[in-house]
Every structure is written in structure tokens, then in C-alpha cells.
Structure 1
Amino acid sequence: MKIDIGIKEKDRKKIADGLSHFLADSYTLYLKTHNFHWNVTGPMFNTLHTMFETQYTEQWTALDEIAERIRALGFNAPGSYAQFVKLSSIKEEPGVPEAPEWKEMVRQLVVGNEAVCRTARGVLKTADEASDDPSVDLLTQRLQTHEKYAWMLRSLLE
């Protein structure tokens, strides 16, 4: 059935493509945060173990919302590691055989959260120009969350 939600197909496609990059960045950041939760050590263990768990749990829920928005626009959401690696602007952390020390973990998560923000801002502009208020709302909420995470993590390094 043809989709007629008041947004032109070419605009829906452009937004969905941007959201796919946003989903890939968000998933890569989620996975990195979860990895660091498992592997953090050192004097900040309790604080970071708990903080990382709070962040990856919230991020996991958001992934579904992003993918479902892509579907609502009429396109398939990426869903494989290969697709995420291709679409993401965030580098994976191999983590094996040794995880980075806690300060490097925090630094990488600051960089990752900031990357997610940059990707969100690009898609937000596209969605706003197409009057796609649900995507604008979703991206605005995600920006608020990731800017806060970046600030909280950055504070640990100051």
C-alpha cells in the first residue's frame, strides 16, 4: 500500500537514510558502552560500572524507537553488524585481549556520544525541512540524552 502521511517519498527516503546512520552510530555506541561495563577495572570501577549500565540500558530502548521510526517512514531498518559497521561514524573497540584503562573508556564514550549528537543534528535538519515532527521529536530527545551523557563522562576526566 502506498504511504500517504504528508511527507514526500523522496523526503521520507532521505530521512530514513539519515536515521539509518543515526541507528548505526547509536548501536555502535550502545555496544561499546556495554563492552566497557563488562570490562572496566580500576579505582573508578563501582562508579563507572553502574554509570555504563544505566547508559547502555537506556540506549538499548532507544534503538527500537529509532528503527521503528525508519519503518514508519516506509523503509527497512539496518539490522546487522556488517550494516552498522558500514553506516556508523564510530569506531568499534576490539576489547580483546585487553580492554583500555578506565580513562580511555570514558574518553571514547565522550567521543562516541558527541558523534551521535553530530549525526542526530544532521538528520534533524533534514526532518525539520520535511515537516517530519515525529522524527524531529525523537532526535531532539536523543540529543538531550547524549549531550548529557557526554557532559557527565567528560566531567570525570576534568
Structure 2
Amino acid sequence: MKANIGIPDNHLQAVAEKLQVLLADEQVLYTKTRNYHWNVEGDNFSEMHLFYEKQYDELAEIIDEVAERIRMIGHYSTGRLVDFLKLTQLTEPEYTNDQPEQIKNLVEDHETIIRSLRTLITEFADKHKDLGTSDFVTGLLRQHEKMAWMLRSYLKK
């Protein structure tokens, strides 16, 4: 049954398409964080191994919520890796075991997502009249800001 939530179909389609890009970005960031969890090295290995695990667990929740939001507004979620890689705004750098480089890469990805979310908040509310999804991505913005802050705390000025 089609969603009848007071938003025109063309607006819901546009919102779903933007959420698909967000879903792809979250999936790529999740995979990168998990990779760093597996391959971190250093005298604080145990701490960073657990830190990365906490971050990718939070990203897994975000991924599920984004996919479910797409379904809530009446569309199917992207679910193939090939599609995520076509849609993402993020890049996959070469492998690195250098902890500061890993952290810098993750901070940059979170900040890319944060900038995108800031744009989506107003676009969803003003252009597409979807206050529910605007509120949803506002919550995601706060989560990514906190995750980026925690990562930046490991970097020297």
C-alpha cells in the first residue's frame, strides 16, 4: 500500500533519492571504520580496537534507520554494494595501518556527511515539506558531530 502521509509523490521520490545517497555514505563509512578496527596497530591497540567497534556499531544502527526511513516514505532501500559505491560521496583510500591517518580519514568522512546533512535538513523541510525526514536527519547530524568530535580528540592540533 502506498504511503499517504500528506506529501506529494514527487517530493517523496526526491527525498528517497537523497536518502539513498546518505545510505551509501553511511555504508561506506561503516565499512571503512570496520576495516580500521581490524587493522589498527600501536601501543593503544586495545583501546582503539574497542573505540572503532563502538563507532561502527553506532553506524550500523544509523544504516538501519536510514534504510527504514526510506521504506517509511514508500520506497525501497538500496542494498547492493555495487549501488552503494555508485551513489556514495565518499572515497576509499589505500589501506593504512597508520592510526593518525585512519582517524583523519574517518573525520573527513564524518564531516562530509555532516555538511550534506545540514543541506538536507532545510531541503527536506522547505523544498519538499517533509518535516519528519528533516527532523530525522537533524538527529543524524548530532550523532555524526559527536562521532567526529570523539575522533578529532585523538588528533594533535
Q: Same fold (TM over 0.5)?
A: yes
CA distance in 2, matches of 1:100, 1:85: 23
Equivalent positions of 1:5-154 (< 5 A) are 5-95=5-95, 99-129=96-126, 130-154=128-152
Q: Please say which of residues 86-95 and 56-65 is displaced more in the overlay.
A: 86-95
**What are structure 2's unaligned runs of at least 5 residues?**
none
**What are structure 1's unaligned runs of at least 5 residues?**
none
- One-letter amino acid matched to 1:69: R
CA distance in 1, matches of 2:2, 2:75: 12
RMSD of aligned residue pairs (Cα, Å): 1.4
CA distance in 2, matches of 1:76, 1:122: 23
Deviation at 1:53, TM superposition (A): 0.6
Runs of 4+ in 1 over 4 A off after TM superposition: none
For normalisation by structure 2, the TM-score amounts to 0.92
Residue deviations 1:40-95 (CA, integer Å, cap 9, x gap): 00123222111111110011011111001111111111111111111111112453
CA distance in 1, matches of 2:61, 2:116: 19
- One-letter amino acid matched to 2:10: K
Residue 155 (structure 2) aligns with: 157
- One-letter amino acid matched to 2:18: G
CA distance in 1, matches of 2:14, 2:34: 30
- One-letter amino acid matched to 2:152: R
CA contact (8 A) 1:44 1:102 kept: no
CA contact (8 A) 1:33 1:55 kept: yes
What secondary structure sits across from 1:157 in the alignment?
A: coil
CA distance in 1, matches of 2:2, 2:23: 25
CA contact (8 A) 1:21 1:119 kept: no
CA distance in 2, matches of 1:123, 1:13: 14
- One-letter amino acid matched to 2:105: Q
- % same residue: 38
- One-letter amino acid matched to 1:141: G
CA distance in 1, matches of 2:2, 2:107: 42
CA contact (8 A) 1:25 1:115 kept: no
CA distance in 2, matches of 1:45, 1:145: 25
What secondary structure sits across from 2:154 in the alignment?
A: helix
